[in-house]
């Protein structure tokens, strides 16, 4: 799949999501459906957005025992999404189970990526709250290597880590990076942010952008600015 901007549709309902997507007349953005929308609107929202011609990243970040994740992934594989994810913190067996569950009888499956560390986690939280004493970049690299060893296609990470992940896991290992903000925008709860242009420079394959587009006065202009900065 080629590099792209993924729009995080973090809305509580189908109505609000379609009101937002209806504003796009010329483009069909790659859409991320996260917990808020999926839990609020149910699996039907995935089918509806897919039917409108959008690619879909289903961002449910699964994290449970291997058997539970495998079975949940088997259900999700029927939704025909392009990309889905889990937490690498769940371990190698959980990730292997996920691939197994996701693989359809004909051998095809959506791409599967792992969250390394949330972009809202910084070194202080990592060591102070989670008692993980290693440097954050080392933790991210190790989780990425685990994801690759389990057969996953890439990771969700900060754009600041995209280069290191590619070095450790190869150029073809996807880096999908949230925590993107325009140079003149608010950062909100994201701790480690970069601009779309910087994310490109750092080697991100996909950027995930929510509020800088969804909460913009002119979302179409913000989306286009993002695409122009990221794809060049």
Cβ atoms 90, 64 nearer than 8 A: yes
Does 34 bind ligand C5P (CB under 6 A)? Our answer is: yes
* Residues designated catalytic: 61
Nearest distance, CB of residue 220 and ligand C5P, angstroms: 17
- Binding residues with ligand C5P: total (CB under 6 A): 16
x/- letters, 176..205, toward ligand C5P (CB under 6 A): --xx--------x-x---------------
Does 119 bind ligand C5P (CB under 6 A)? Our answer is: yes
Among 58, 72, 139, 156, binds ligand C5P (CB under 6 A): 156
Does 211 bind ligand C5P (CB under 6 A)? Our answer is: yes
Tokens 């450790």 locate to: 168
**220, two tokens:** 């179409």
Does 115 bind ligand C5P (CB under 6 A)? Our answer is: yes
Where does this chain touch ligand C5P (CB under 6 A) — which range of 62-70, 86-94, 113-121, 131-139?
113-121
Query: Distance between CA atoms of 77 and 179, rounded to whole angstroms?
Result: 27
Residue number with CB closer to ligand C5P (79 or 160): 160
Does 71 bind ligand C5P (CB under 6 A)? Our answer is: no
Q: Which residues contact 105 (CB under 8 A, 6 or more apart)?
A: none
Query: Distance between CA atoms of 85 and 229, rounded to whole angstroms?
Result: 26
Does 81 bind ligand C5P (CB under 6 A)? Our answer is: no
Does 222 bind ligand C5P (CB under 6 A)? Our answer is: no
Question: 89-100 burial by CB neighbour count: b if 16+ within 10 A, else e?
Answer: bbeeebbbbbbb
CA angle 111, 5, 59 (to 5 degrees): 45
Among 29, 97, 203, 210, binds ligand C5P (CB under 6 A): 210
Query: Distance between CA atoms of 153 and 111, rounded to whole angstroms?
Result: 6
Largest interatomic CA distance in the chain: 49
Which residue, 185, 206, 161, 199, is CA-closest to 5?
206
Nearest distance, CB of residue 106 and ligand C5P, angstroms: 30
Query: Distance between CA atoms of 53 and 9, rounded to whole angstroms?
Result: 15
Residue number with CB closer to ligand C5P (71 or 145): 145
Cβ atoms 72, 64 nearer than 8 A: yes
Nearest distance, CB of residue 8 and ligand C5P, angstroms: 4
Does 10 bind ligand C5P (CB under 6 A)? Our answer is: yes
Binding site for ligand C5P (CB under 6 A): 8, 10, 34, 115, 118-119, 156, 178-179, 188, 190, 208-212
């Amino acid at each position: 799949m080629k590099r792209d901007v993924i729009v995080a549709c973090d809305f509580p309902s189908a109505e609000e999501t379609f009101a937002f997507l209806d504003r796009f007349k010329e483009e069909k953005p790659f859409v991320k459906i996260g917990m808020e929308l999926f839990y609020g609107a149910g699996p039907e929202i995935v089918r509806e957005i897919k039917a409108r011609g959008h690619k879909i990243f289903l961002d449910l970040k699964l994290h449970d025992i291997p058997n539970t994740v495998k079975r949940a992934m088997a259900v999700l594989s029927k939704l025909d999404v392009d990309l889905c994810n889990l937490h690498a913190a769940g371990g190698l067996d959980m990730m292997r189970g996920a691939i197994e569950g996701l693989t359809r009888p004909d051998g095809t499956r959506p791409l599967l990526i792992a969250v390394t560390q949330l972009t809202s986690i910084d070194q202080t939280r990592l060591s102070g709250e989670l008692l993980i004493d290693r440097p954050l970049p080392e933790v991210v690299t190790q989780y990425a290597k685990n994801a690759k060893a389990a057969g996953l296609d890439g990771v969700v990470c900060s754009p600041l880590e995209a280069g290191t992940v590619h070095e450790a896991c190869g150029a073809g290992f996807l880096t999908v990076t949230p925590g993107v903000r325009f140079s003149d925008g608010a950062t909100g709860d994201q701790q480690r942010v970069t601009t779309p242009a910087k994310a490109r420079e750092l080697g991100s394959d996909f950027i995930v952008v929510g509020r800088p587009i969804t909460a913009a006065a002119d979302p179409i202009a913000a989306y286009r600015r993002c695409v122009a900065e990221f794809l060049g």
